[in-house]
Structure 1
Amino acid sequence: MKTTASPKAPLPVPSSDHLAERSRRARTEPMSVLPLGDGLYEIESASDHTYLVDLEGGRCTCPDHVFREARCKHIRRVAIEITEGRTPPPGEVAVDCHDCGETIFVDEDESAPFYCETHAIYPGDAVVDRETGDRLTVVDVSELRADAVEIGAVDTTVAEYETNEGYAGDVPVVGAVYPHARVARNGVVPSSLRVYVFPRTRLERAARS
């Protein structure tokens, strides 16, 4: 089949009505938005065409943007999805909470495991040991990995400790104490405040009473 090029003529500048129409179509037309990282998003349109949006650069590979330099419906759709919390903004990615599977947004360079706000733990929080069911109180959430922190008394890492073998070694270490620690008249009883260390994934946040 023989094809010919279209004549080299300027395209009309979109009117305000066209701009309003783009906004309406951005919201109402079926589109899928896939975040790729680095501020890039892949858009599959209702016509089954796939375009790439660079949100931070304000660019899209669709003809409406390439040839008319318009803020096309695809760029607008990405902005809508981000504003309404369905798509992560530039610099973040969508991941699943380790404990409940809820989709959350985290920094692109953040390491697993990931937790939603309901299941995240902080110093002072009560947690439950998944292996024993014991209740403990968190004193520290370290950035050090379980396969890099040694338990001096047994000359092994937290990850290699026999009761931790079922948990990943590339997760943070959490320090916790049993809540039956007591303070005597002459000061803290050292044995009651012994800090135990666990792979983060072995602990779950205790239900609040």
Structure 2
Amino acid sequence: MTHSAHTPASLPATRSKTTLPAADTTGRARRARVEPMAVRPLRDGRYAVETDGDGETYVVDLDATTCTCPDHEIRGRRCKHLRRVALEVTARLVPPPGRRTAVCAVCGGRAFVPTTARGPALCVRHTHRPGRPVVDRETGDRLLVVAATGARADRVETDEGRLVADYPSNAEYGRHEPVFRAVYVDALRRDGPVSVYAFPASRLRPPRIEGDDGGAGADLSATADARLSAA
């Protein structure tokens, strides 16, 4: 049975007008923060900014540093709308250009993925970068991530011909979660072949304390690359 913590939830489709802390700013920088605005990403990578004072909606292009408001188009200034979008992107309140908002397959929180991405998504907290040390929640063993498959655990087969989701040891992890491939650190330190194993995303966790990775890092990552290339 899948643990409730690993069940995705829905995210609101729209946002209400909000404000940000003034942060000891003045002028346009202050107005960008304290005036109520709603920032909505558009499919083409731009942003619609709905304001409160004049009730207008303007379109901001961060890449081109443009806005359709009079302050920018007539005066050529870096307006409050441009500043507000940049602030919300930096604060991870909205996705950066070229990305869209998705639901994390592990916690149901917000994840930003490329607009063309398909399959299950993961937020920053629950993704694993290749070359990073992780720990198996079931056994406590240390591993090194070698690849992200981008495919669900109920669709990825192991070398044994079984779906990752069908292993009893993965029963408490979401069948919808993306699979990562990893090697055991101890195997890298021994002579002989190195096997690559597949795990649902939430079965792997980052090391909790310094030294929990047993020294796995850049050196072991290079060792893994060499050993796997030679296999």
TM class by shorter chain equals 0.5 to 0.7
- Whether 1:198 aligns to 2:205 is no
Mind listing any 5+ residue stretches in structure 2 that lack a counterpart? 1-25, 211-231
**Inter-partner Cα distance in structure 2 for 1:84 and 1:151:** 39
**Inter-partner Cα distance in structure 1 for 2:92 and 2:150:** 31
CA shift, 1:22, in A, is 5.5
- Whether 1:116 aligns to 2:124 is yes
Letter of the aligned partner of 1:26 in structure 2?
A
Compute the TM-score of the two structures, normalised by the length of structure 2.
0.55
CA shift, 1:157, in A, is 2.0
**Inter-partner Cα distance in structure 1 for 2:98 and 2:125:** 19
Compute the TM-score of the two structures, normalised by the length of structure 1.
0.59
**Inter-partner Cα distance in structure 2 for 1:21 and 1:181:** 58
**Inter-partner Cα distance in structure 1 for 2:128 and 2:34:** 36
Once the two structures are superposed, residues 59-104 of structure 1 have per-residue CA deviations (whole angstroms, 9 ceiling, x without a partner) of 43x6x37995866543443245446765443113456776788866
Letter of the aligned partner of 2:121 in structure 1?
P
SS at match of 1:149: coil
In percent, how many aligned pairs have the same letter?
31
Partners of 2:41 and 2:48 within 8 A in 1 = yes
Q: Name 2:99's counterpart in structure 1.
A: 92
CA shift, 1:45, in A, is 1.6
The change in CA–CA distance for 1:182 and 1:138 in structure 2 (over 3 A counts) is closer
Partners of 1:37 and 1:90 within 8 A in 2 = no
Once the two structures are superposed, residues 96-135 of structure 1 have per-residue CA deviations (whole angstroms, 9 ceiling, x without a partner) of 7767888665433345432427963433513223xx2432
The change in CA–CA distance for 1:207 and 1:44 in structure 2 (over 3 A counts) is same
SS at match of 2:169: helix
Matches within 5 A, 1:102-181: 105-110=112-117, 112-116=120-124, 120-123=128-131, 125-129=133-137, 132-143=138-149, 145=151, 146-153=153-160, 155-165=161-171, 166-169=173-176, 171-177=178-184, 179=186
**Inter-partner Cα distance in structure 2 for 1:127 and 1:43:** 43
Q: Hey, which of these two has a bigger chunk of strand by percent?
A: 1
- Whether 1:47 aligns to 2:48 is no
Partners of 2:130 and 2:148 within 8 A in 1 = no
CA shift, 1:41, in A, is 1.8
Deviates more, 1:93-102 or 1:195-204: 93-102
Letter of the aligned partner of 1:206 in structure 2?
P
**Inter-partner Cα distance in structure 2 for 1:143 and 1:104:** 17
CA shift, 1:46, in A, is 2.3
**Inter-partner Cα distance in structure 1 for 2:196 and 2:56:** 54
The change in CA–CA distance for 1:208 and 1:24 in structure 2 (over 3 A counts) is closer
Q: Name 1:77's counterpart in structure 2.
A: 84
The change in CA–CA distance for 1:126 and 1:171 in structure 2 (over 3 A counts) is closer
Number of matched residues?
179
**Inter-partner Cα distance in structure 2 for 1:48 and 1:160:** 57
**Inter-partner Cα distance in structure 1 for 2:27 and 2:188:** 66
Partners of 2:164 and 2:170 within 8 A in 1 = yes
Once the two structures are superposed, residues 142-200 of structure 1 have per-residue CA deviations (whole angstroms, 9 ceiling, x without a partner) of 335234432243x32223334334423461332232637763xxx43x5xx54332122
**Inter-partner Cα distance in structure 1 for 2:109 and 2:83:** 26
Partners of 1:93 and 1:105 within 8 A in 2 = yes
Partners of 2:146 and 2:183 within 8 A in 1 = yes
The change in CA–CA distance for 1:89 and 1:149 in structure 2 (over 3 A counts) is closer
